[in-house]
Chains A and B, each alone.
Chain A
Amino acid sequence: MSGETLKVSLRITNGFALDVAFDVPPGVTVLFGPSGSGKSTTLSAIAGLVRPSSGRISIGDDVWFDSAEKTHVAVHRRRVAFVFQSLALFPHMTALENVVYGMERALDPGSRAKRAVALLERLRVPHLADRKPRTFSGGEAQRVALARALATSPRVILLDEPFSALDRELRIELISDLRESIRELDVPVLFVTHHRQEARALGERLVLLEGGRVQRIGKVAELATGTDASFDETPLDADRMLEP
């Protein structure tokens, strides 16, 4: 399963107009652009939460969506790890129950719990196992949400600005932890952000989105050094707030 590339080509015509095509090889690809550029909608379409008007989404040999063949694999059969901006931890479940929720149900409960504890440990929050989300700090909630997403043995990881609510230090710490966890999985990761520093810290490749279209595809390194005007000159309010 490792080494698969996610191929995305989709158009949405009703309501918000979106027309994008790009590949996501294993590793982190940053989906960058101002708010309203279509980043979240693109993620939702890949996950199957939104059905595109036309196009094709595939991973390895599996086709998740193909308008020509009328293929549309249901959300819950895609094995996509989605970390939402709001995190969406289940408030009535403990951290452990949240993490176990998405695990393959073929596993027996004992080994599921064991794996969940291991994941919470890796993300440095084993002490939260029996606590419910309302008692978590912002950073703790992020870590549990990441553990829950990684627990599904995902084929693709989609991160929708998961660190937007955190302060700078916490964000840097989490990004380095996340980078380690993702490297082992060797799956395509699409990381939505409009923070340049996050993009630089986490990403290898970058897809620049604007007004529902791909403006540019390249390496984070070249784009971030200022060789590409459209990247560094994108007006981003939240990014300015991040600067000390």
Chain B
Amino acid sequence: MELAPLVLSFQIAATATVVAAVLGIGLATLLANTRFPGRDLVDVIATAPIVLPPTVLGYYLLVALGRRSAIGHAFEAIFGSSIVFTRTGAVVAATVGALPLVVKSARAALEGVEPTLMRAARTLGAGPARAFFTVQLPLAGRGIVAALMLAFARSLGDFGITLMVAGDIPGETQTASLAIYDAIQEHRDAAALGMVLTLTTIAIAILYAVNKLTGGRDVR
């Protein structure tokens, strides 16, 4: 079994999950707790990666982050390497794929917290930030952890967006899902099977854990 692509997948998925957590929980909080013009549009854009083809997402990312784009140019000037076709690009791809799951689930979890509890916190002298961090966030905790686990599972399995934005460079951007594709093309069935079974086991374990985590609350 080829270990390098699996290890790389884990590293990229872990980083992407952290980035998606910060962006996703922030966006979810904004959508759940505030009313602002363009809120529905933000919601739609944050959710779009679920339904858009990976090639379309990859195209947008290439245009936005490519070496000739403003962002890509600035990034390269500061860090000395480009975003696209590097490990950074793979992280960006995995993050974009995972973000909608975090936004959707975290928002549902935050909105599921009884609003009277936040009102109570406010009358007890808590400003909006304290009420959020001490009451709403902890009570939405389980749902948010579940959201992050799903995000990790999604990041681990990304294929299309990664291929478009980061390519398929062994040791650099060749994640397990890409390595499986290559192995099958080259008739290395045993290598493919090892990675297939590993990814499947992890995905099922995560989904099981997520069900346990969110199911317990529904029953009560």
B126 on interface, CB distance cutoff 8 Å? yes
Mask, B132-149, CB within 8 Å of A = 1, is 001100110000000000
CB distance from B134 to the nearest CB of A (A): 8
A86 on interface, CB distance cutoff 8 Å? yes
Interface size range of chain B in the complex: 10 to 19
- A101–B124 CB distance below 8 A: yes
The residue in chain A whose Cβ has the minimal distance to the Cβ of B220 is A134
In the bound assembly, the distance between CA atoms of A75 and B127 in angstroms comes to: 8
Given A74-B127, A76-B127, A102-B124; A92-B119 close (CB under 8 Å): no
In the bound assembly, the distance between CA atoms of A84 and B116 in angstroms comes to: 8
A80 on interface, CB distance cutoff 8 Å? yes
Partner of B139, one of A47, A48, A84, A91: A91
B67 on interface, CB distance cutoff 8 Å? no
How many contacts A-B (CB < 8 Å)? Answer: 54
Which residues in chain B, 68-94, are within 8 Å of chain A measured between CB atoms?
A: none
Q: Is the interface of A mostly helix, strand, loop or mixed?
A: loop
B117 on interface, CB distance cutoff 8 Å? yes
Partner of A76, one of B116, B126, B135: B126
CB distance from A25 to the nearest CB of B (A): 21
Partner of B125, one of A49, A79, A90: A79
CB distance from A135 to the nearest CB of B (A): 13
CB distance from A105 to the nearest CB of B (A): 8
- A152–B125 CB distance below 8 A: yes
CB distance from B32 to the nearest CB of A (A): 18
Of B124, B127, B139, most buried by chain A (CB within 10 Å of CB) is B124
A sample of 11 inter-chain contacts (CB < 8 A) reads A75-B119, A75-B123, A76-B125, A76-B127, A79-B125, A80-B123, A84-B120, A86-B116, A91-B117, A91-B139, A105-B125
Q: Which residues of A contact B (CB under 8 A)?
A: 47-49, 74-82, 84, 86, 88, 90-92, 101-102, 104-105, 148, 152
Which 6 pairs, one residue from A and one from B, show the smallest C-beta to C-beta distance?
Answer: A102-B124, A88-B120, A82-B123, A75-B122, A88-B116, A76-B125
